[in-house]
Amino acid sequence: MSKINITDTFLQLGALLSQPDKQLNDLIETERYYNAWFTPESVRKAVAATAEMLNRHDLEKWLSAYNIPAQQPKKVGLVLAGNIPMVGFHDVLCVLVAGHHALIKASSQDSRLIRYALDKLIEIDPAYTGRYTFVEKLEGFEAIIATGSNNTSRYFEYYFGKVPHIIRKNRNSIALLTGNESNEELTALGHDILNYFGLGCRNVSKLLVPEGYNFTQFFEAIEHLNEIIHHHKYNNNYDYNKSIYLVNRDQHLDNGFLMVKRDERLTSPLSVVFYDTYSSLSDAQEQLQSLTDQLQCIVTNAPVDVPNQVVGFGRSQHPNLWDYADGIDTMDFLAHLN
């Protein structure tokens, strides 16, 4: 299949996702009954982000970077995450574009939206018929792409280690602030932290701030996001973590829906964002360098030289096609399976 055909096909799919039909609108409204975190607002955001990714300029730029050989299709097993809506779609996209057959072990939390997108793909181009299979148990695979936690990655290595594989572990994202951010940038940072309730690996879980940083402007800039506290599962997490901090007399800041706590760790609990300080930008860069293997992306407008993906405020949950999870080039892996 030519790159022109691939571009046109997925461009049409992006257009369909950008203008949801009745079936998709029904899915957007009903996903919450299968997963309480998948609110209509969150699902709509995820669908829109996928549609945004499938634009002509980016599709052409992405595909131009690869020489996809005519090769015997391999059966590529996909163990998809289900922490945020449609999070596994990019892996499926890569396998299909590379000419392989996708054996999809979807998360029980998130299979309906991906099924919808693939059904529409076949309507656009029937050549994709038979190019993927949803499975309950992975068998007969010749390669694996699996996404899980640090704990499950050990099992993945054991079961899948004998075939070509990409196995992903826990990652988090971090924001580097200089203290010169505008209200608009801090508002956008609020979305980087709270979109999808902070459940994604691209959500900011920690802030690096200059010594003596005052969080007042940050709290004021995100105040309009306070509706999040009305979600019962988020509110349960907030109440629980607040109680722990109060009982333990842990110092923290609290605006009524998000707590900020100084902590060396990178992974913060839901409803909390950790922070640490730096004395200079070179000090901040050293801290970021030490976290390279744990970071998905870095949100900042400061000039930093790091191997991780760096994005502007508000862009952490809007990856491009070439922004691969864990920095591992999925398309390059798939193009060289033979």
DSSP line for 189-210: HHHHHHGGGG-STTSEEEEEEE
- The 3-state secondary structure of 155-167 reads HHHHHHCCCCEEE
pLDDT average, residue stretch 24-33: 97
How far is C-alpha 308 from the geometric centre of its chain's CA atoms?
Answer: 14
pLDDT, tens digit (0-9, with 9 covering 90-100), for 47-75: 999 999 999 999 999 999 998 877 789 99
Look at residue 116 in the predicted model and tell me its pLDDT. 97
pLDDT of residue 71: 75
pLDDT for position 235: 98
Instruction: Note the pLDDT of residue 22.
Output: 98
Sheet with 101-105, strands from edge to edge, namely 132-134, 101-105, 75-79, 143-147, 165-168
Q: What is the pLDDT of residue 56?
A: 97
Whether this model's pTM surpasses 0.75: yes
High-pLDDT (> 70) share of the chain, %: 100
Residues in Cβ contact with 255 at an 8 Å cutoff, skipping those fewer than 6 apart: 219, 222, 223, 226
Averaged confidence pLDDT in the chain: 95
pLDDT attached to residue 238: 98
146-195 pLDDT, tens digit per residue, is: 998 888 888 898 889 899 999 998 999 999 999 999 999 999 999 999 99
Q: At what angle do helices 112-124 and 40-53 cross, to 10 degrees?
A: 40
d(C-alpha 127, C-alpha 130), whole Å: 8
pLDDT in tens, 74-113: 999 999 999 999 999 999 999 999 999 999 999 988 999 9
Phi first, then psi: what are they for 254, rounded to 5°? -145, 125
Kindly indicate the confidence band of residue 6, based on its pLDDT and cuts at 50, 70 and 90.
very high
More confident residue, 123 or 169: 123
DSSP for 64-92, written as a single string: HT------PPPEEEEE---SSTTTTHHHH
